[in-house]
Structure 1
């Protein structure tokens, strides 16, 4: 029985002896057992032991991989040879990648080194996506020539249209139109057929280079090739919009209408909001810029009238598509139509802008419509602009075939379509923004509705309603409305709180608009004080004062009808450091900046002429103070001295420019002594030193500051 392995195994399982009795089991085994049975027993004994013990040290070293062979130089040499075999490259002429196997002979225009470099790059660019990413990355490093060589070689083994598109886009961004078109033609010759993105990139790139000669004809050629019978790409509205943009920037309305005539009414290529925005803006630019030479005001008004009527008819189609949910109306489209109406010559066109905003943005009109009973009762002028021709001052009520709707009905507010009140309005109104705020303010300025302008401003900027944060252009339009209303105090408040107070950086034009508001409000006794505040704000905000704003202030002070001695002295107090700043800009110490890099900007050209005019008008303020009875004679010498310094400087500047100023002669005719005016432009060192020191901030408040700080009849 024990000669059978299975029987022996069952016997051992039945014994179930502990590990301590294993040696007894080994003694009782018949020595006649076969060798295989002994090995089985040996295995069982080792399995029963708690910890296996290695039979020899060699096995232990092998288990831990610490045998001497692995540390020998022979093993290291074999490992080195193994790595060398793995890194071994194929022999010359043997290609291991599919794209290199299809590579043709080297182009003679490429050197051997360049050819080998491109081959090395292609070896690791097997996928067109990887190739396109690599090309785009290298084009960012301006490696155009290398990438053109690489894409040419890759075109022999794969379709790499995207890489060609990247090269065309790079050329167009660098204003290299001819090179982009050459690449476009070359890719077709290499069986790399352009896709839809190729034409989009090409047409958009031509639109941003519309200033280049011949771009329009090239763009039209590319666009019309999409309609060829053998074209592989179906034209979309994206291609049409890009082509329209090229025509609009080239101001070629004939080409624009030719492209627009191919737009289908429905389907994939139907017009969208971008199409209408491009066309309306092109119409507006054409009406403003493409005016025939020698055109009269009546002819210009009639030409604008035809363009606006065309835009009105187009808007009817836009609204119909909007009601049918075939397109979306956004703020840019609304403002484009509004600005087209604002260039018209009829008051109805200007008034319809508010109706347009109500129709598309659901913002209620804050002013009754023109011609309505409520508008007739409102205290508003019927006309504002004097250049409106008599034929266009009123709506044309002539009879027409078919009795068409009245002008302005295309901008009436829309009502929900359906029966009863259960049907909701499906219209998606546009969201107003800064562009809308500017358009509404300009419309209110055109129709002279100052109250409505203020109400619209409060409504659109209110955080609880539309919460529009005004930008610099909005604030400029608001200032223009305040100027029209002669609200100088409101202009100063707007500058202090909404402009400078909110961190805006005003421009010189900002202060010109605000200063012109005070000039229009000259009959207000506080207007000169408001102008002084604007001038002080400009001095603190701008690095160098604006000469035109200074001229307006000096003109206001010189012609102020309610001026007193204190008003003129306060005006000269503000003007004196400003005049010193202008002198630095004109050349007294200002031709070169100081050693620390700080100094006035040297004026040239028209800006220089404006600065000279500003100084002359400041000189006029001195004249009004000195040649009047507002101050006593014994208090005039300090002002005469400052006037003489200014007069001398003006003479010097005029002499250098080859002109002659008669200000000194006029002063002598008015009774001043000849020694009070330096006709040769030379002053004593003390007076000149005071001016230069004051201009550089080293002198005090001037030699005559004490005269308006002391009480008495000077301030009375």
Structure 2
């Protein structure tokens, strides 16, 4: 009975023995219990307390249980700890489906992509989860020239996300690199991969095709892309932005038939109606076609008739523009006004040129400063009749715009608009355009064509006045102003314009600017100060430019030769100014000059530039001849000029007759630097040592041999130096009378 632990426990509970006698009961029943049943009688005092168990001992110092954790020292725990450390050191393997959803549907590798490139694109794509991040990354890498890598990346990303922006970046990159066929291939590949082009895709494509309009077949490709927008299955509706881009392609390719085909389908109202950019594109295309796209072998009368038809088309278009402007459907800006003005300036009639000022008055509210051609106010103002020698005779009459009943038939398109309404209810919704630098150039050119010099000056002061429009003139405006001054023969005003409006304001003139200013002095040669003004222009040119402009120097030398009031002192002053310029031109011919257009450093003059430099030296040589072969100065004062003339003549002959590729320096240049010649020595009563030495050299040259140096050089027998290793060709031994070879 007592062998069962449960029965023994129930017996003990039935006795009702208190806990304090538990130890005595255990001693009494100890012989009857086995060792495994003693734990049923343990009370709280049997096992150590929690703090004692941690120490592994009891109050009496007897160890009942070890305080060490044997599981921690087991092999299983050590193996588990090792696996944990290994797992922490290793890179966690991400779940492709959860962490990188853009890699879930890549499929098998493209056979055109190598394994290494495929793995690199996968690693890049793992960190590009968003289409915006992908587009930003693609744009930065395309700037580095990685177009093929980015195309692979975008193709892989197209399996899991819509990345149209990235495709647009690639198309734009190819078009910027003039790779039109590659861009169209990417565009077609984009559609095959279910990446549907958006509105920006078509805009980028058409704009890029307009940039590459010089390549063949671009117009047909642009038209196919543009017409695909109007297809029934097109996801993008065509807008005026796409229309303007397509018109730009046709305009730059000068295909007017295709341009009018697109322009004829533009609606009159609605969001697809023509805007300012549309009209600017069409007008500029008409102007370029009239100037550059004429048929071969066209006569002047045929060209004038063709321009007349183009101007009439532009006038009819302007009527439509003004109608929409008055109804507040269109806002006119400066670019549109100047585009129409430049179209009128290439017209065949003086009336077209005069209407430019009416156009400015109509659209910018700037009053005309000169009466219209053919009007009574022009004759009352005492202005002379306009002469147009380069215009065919049938287009010269300025009042042929009047009909038989004396009513105007031509030019009403540009009349100033009157406000609509009656009394206090007048409303003028017109928003006038603000003039700028482009307007200033157009007005100056129109005044030049109609020979309105006072009006040109009035418009200049009106538009540049800080209290009115405050236009700061640029280099193009200043060049046009110089052309008006040239027409008015105002050489002094040209010098003042160069000094005050250019140099003082930090504007650097170009070689063409000095040519216009110098031609003003040439045209004003009857003025006794014109030669002095031309010298001032040359001094400004030498201060600004590193190398002198040969054409400007040639015009100055021609002015010195043809100056009717020239004295000996004037020619000496001219040669004094030309002396350092002559050395500069010789350096350009011998060593090389600064290439002004590109700024790439010294460049050897070739072609037309070389011929201009030689022509300048020959004109300067002519100035020496005029001074020496005349009685403007005394004979004893001509010695330094003879020496300089001899040096210049020798140099010109070497350059002209030896090609100028490689030539030996003259002896006086080999020995050392040439001393400066005092060209003003004739003013001294007593000649110095330098003047005597120069005269002695000239006399010695004349007494030694009257022939010039180039004739002496060409009179020498030419010796052919056979290069080493060259074999004698076409050689046959001489035969004696018996037919045997004879020793040479």
Indicate whether the TM-score tops 0.5.
yes
Aligned equivalent of 2:336: 333
Q: 1:424 to 1:711 in 2, by over 3 A?
A: farther
Q: CA deviation at 1:419?
A: 2.2
Shift of 1:124: 2.4
Structure 2 counterpart of 1:702:
677
The secondary structure found in structure 1 opposite 2:423 is coil
Give the whole-Å Cα distance in 2 for the aligned partners of 1:711 and 1:441.
Answer: 55
Is the Cα–Cα contact under 8 Å of residues 401 and 410 in structure 2 kept in the other structure? no
Structure (1 or 2) with the larger CA radius of gyration: 2
Equivalent residue runs for 1:162-561 within 5 Å: 162-394=165-397, 395-397=399-401, 406-561=409-564
Q: Report the Cα distance in structure 2 between the residues aligned to 1:598 and 1:295, rounded to whole angstroms.
A: 41
Mapped partners of 1:581, 1:148: distance in 2: 55
Task: Please state if 1:654 is matched with 2:656.
Answer: yes
Cα RMSD after superposing both structures: 3.1
- Determine the C-alpha separation between the residues in 2 that align with 1:328 and 1:386: 39
Q: Which residue of 2 aligns with 1:88?
A: 92
When residues 266 and 76 of structure 1 are mapped into structure 2, their CA distance, relative to the original with a 3 A threshold, is farther
Task: Name the CA distance, whole Å, in 1 between partners of 2:469 and 2:673.
Answer: 53
**Structure 1 CA distance, aligned partners of 2:425 and 2:574?**
68
* Contact 2:102–2:126 (CA under 8 A) maintained in structure 1: yes
Q: Which residue of 2 aligns with 1:615?
A: 617
Mapped to 2, the partners of 1:591 and 1:433 lie a distance apart of 37
Q: Distance in 2 between matches of 1:410 and 1:126?
A: 60
Give the superposition deviation at 1:166: 1.0
**Structure-2 change in CA distance of 1:591 and 1:189 (3 Å):** closer
- Distance in 2, matches of 1:98 and 1:574, equals 80
Does 2:673 align with 1:693?
yes
Q: Secondary structure at the match of 1:693?
A: coil
Runs of 4+ in 1 over 3 A off after TM superposition: 73-85, 93-96, 395-400, 402-405, 589-593, 597-601, 681-686, 708-712
Q: Would you say 1:130 and 2:112 are equivalent positions?
A: no
How far apart are residue 117 of structure 1 and its match? 1.9
Alpha-carbon contact 1:590-1:599 (below 8 Å) kept: no
Separation in structure 2 between the aligned mates of residue 709 and residue 273 of structure 1, nearest angstrom: 71
The answer (yes or no) to whether the contact 1:554–1:621 under 8 Å persists in 2 is yes
Residues in 2 aligned to 1:303 and 1:374: alpha-carbon distance in whole angstroms: 32
Q: Per chain length, whose mean CA-contact separation is higher, i.e. which structure has more relative contact order (CA < 8 Å, sep 6+)?
A: 1
Aligned residues: 611
For residues 709 and 555 of structure 1, the distance between their equivalents in structure 2, rounded to whole angstroms, comes to: 28
Aligned counterpart in structure 2 of residue 630 of structure 1, from 619, 632, 648 = 632
Distance 2:381 2:364 in 1: 25
SS in 1 for 2:297: coil
Query: Compared with structure 1, are the counterparts of its residues 689 and 533 closer, same or farther at alpha carbon in structure 2 (3 Å cutoff)?
Result: farther
2 CA distance for matches of 1:638 and 1:84?
94
What residue number does 2:17 align with?
A: none
Q: Structure 1 residue 422: deviation in Å?
A: 3.7
Provide Cα deviations, 1:381-435, integer angstroms capped at 9, x if missing partner: 32232022222122435759x9995211110111222222443421111111000
Q: What is the rounded CA distance, in whole Å, between the counterparts of 2:396 and 2:85 in structure 1?
A: 98
Counterpart CA distance in 1 for 2:407 and 2:489 is 42
Rounded Cα–Cα distance in structure 2 between residues aligned with 1:435 and 1:711: 60
**Distance change (3 Å), C-alpha of 1:183 and 1:637:** same
> Equivalent residue of 1:470, what SS?
coil
Counterpart Cα distance in 2 of 1:111 and 1:145: 12
C-alpha displacement of 1:705? 3.9
Structure 2: state its 5+ residue gaps: 1-50, 55-76, 692-744
Distance 1:565 1:222, change over 3 A: same
